[in-house]
């Protein structure tokens, strides 16, 4: 059975001591057998903590990723770290196109496309984030925005193929303080667009489609049972190891309930999406 991905970005938080304590707690939980086997955990520390977290999580099966990296080769680019540098520091995943980078740091679809190609060249799994703003949703262009962002993100791969691709649907208005978790209908619409673009543009690659945006212990089970989703991507609610582990247990219970049900009819899900959101 494919794993269920459950991960957290620590964003711009944690001293080295705090990062180490989190990683040690996670290691203890893995060693105690309290991480459900079908849940594939991943953590994305700040770049400063990557190598130390790598050392502490070695052999636990928890995947490690970077929150960003520059698409160019190593060289004179002050203040940046390259794909090969984050890989050297222990990352197997690199997050690309997060809402906060698109809005606070003006990351464009072109930059995202360059980063995706560079990540794959470096042997990293890209974790591509797509999501619409509240104005775009209000304007009725959500499906067009998501399809454009994802198609653009994949557009510079040429013949390159990732070993595996992670795509997170994260509506901008759902993320962070003041964010509102997407309703099942809103989330299903976004996830269905992502699945359709992946089927059309990258059918030969293993992919996992995640939902993110104000996920917490109280709503994780409902998201797992209610959505056609291969994972959850969490911010604040998983900034402590017990927080992440609590959500992992709730996903485990929900996955068991989901597996007892009839498999979902994919035609019903894709029917939510109108014909061509290019």
CB of 244 to ligand 13P, least distance (A): 11
Which strand (E) or helix (H) includes residue 218?
none
| Phi, psi (degrees; rounded to nearest 5) at 129 | -105, 130
Helices (H) and strands (E) in the chain, counts: 11, 8
Contact 167, 195 (CB under 8 A): no
3-state class (DSSP) for residue 23? helix
The token duo for 31 is: 């060693």
CB of 76 to ligand 13P, least distance (A): 30
Sign of CA dihedral 78, 79, 83, 84: positive
Contact 172, 134 (CB under 8 A): yes
DSSP codes joined into one string, 27-50: HHHHHTT-S-TTEEEEEE--GGGH
Of the two residues 82 and 214, which places its CB atom closer to ligand 13P in the complex?
A: 214
CB of 267 to ligand 13P, least distance (A): 30
* Contacts to ligand 13P by CB under 6 A: 9, 98, 170, 175-176, 179, 212-215, 233-237
Looking at the annotation, which residues are catalytic? 98, 170
* Matching residue, tokens 């911010």: 235
CB of 165 to ligand 13P, least distance (A): 16
Rounded to 10°, the helix 142-154/109-121 angle is 40
Of the two residues 8 and 82, which places its CB atom closer to ligand 13P in the complex?
A: 8
CB of 239 to ligand 13P, least distance (A): 8
- Taking CB positions, which residue lies at the least distance from ligand 13P? 235
The token duo for 7 is: 């991960």
Of the two residues 69 and 273, which places its CB atom closer to ligand 13P in the complex?
A: 69
Of the two residues 91 and 237, which places its CB atom closer to ligand 13P in the complex?
A: 237
Of the two residues 122 and 234, which places its CB atom closer to ligand 13P in the complex?
A: 234
């Amino acid at each position: 059975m494919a794993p269920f991905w459950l991960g957290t970005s620590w964003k711009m938080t944690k001293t080295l001591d705090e990062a180490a304590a989190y990683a040690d707690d996670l290691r203890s939980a893995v060693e105690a057998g309290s991480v459900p086997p079908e849940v594939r955990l991943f953590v994305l520390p700040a770049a400063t903590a990557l190598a130390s977290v790598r050392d502490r999580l070695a052999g636990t099966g928890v995947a490690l990723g970077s929150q960003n990296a520059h698409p160019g080769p190593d060289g004179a680019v002050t203040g940046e770290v390259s794909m090969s540098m984050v890989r050297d520091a222990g990352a197997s995943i690199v997050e690309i196109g997060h809402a906060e980078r698109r809005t606070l740091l003006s990351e464009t679809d072109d930059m995202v496309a360059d980063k995706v190609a560079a990540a794959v060249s470096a042997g990293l799994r890209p974790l591509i984030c797509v999501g619409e703003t509240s104005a775009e949703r209000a304007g009725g262009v959500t499906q067009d925005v998501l399809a454009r962002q994802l198609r653009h993100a994949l557009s510079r791969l040429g013949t390159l193929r990732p070993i595996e691709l992670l795509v997170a649907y994260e509506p901008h208005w759902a993320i962070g303080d003041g964010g509102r978790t997407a309703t099942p209908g809103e989330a299903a619409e976004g996830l269905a667009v992502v699945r359709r673009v992946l089927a059309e543009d990258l059918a030969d690659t293993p992919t996992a489609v995640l939902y993110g945006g104000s996920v917490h212990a109280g709503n994780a089970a409902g998201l797992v049972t209610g959505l056609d989703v291969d994972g959850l991507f969490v911010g604040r609610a998983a900034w402590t190891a017990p927080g992440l582990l609590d959500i992992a247990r709730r996903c485990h219970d929900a996955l068991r309930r989901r597996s007892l049900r009839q498999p979902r009819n994919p035609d019903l899900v894709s029917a939510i999406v109108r014909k061509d959101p290019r």
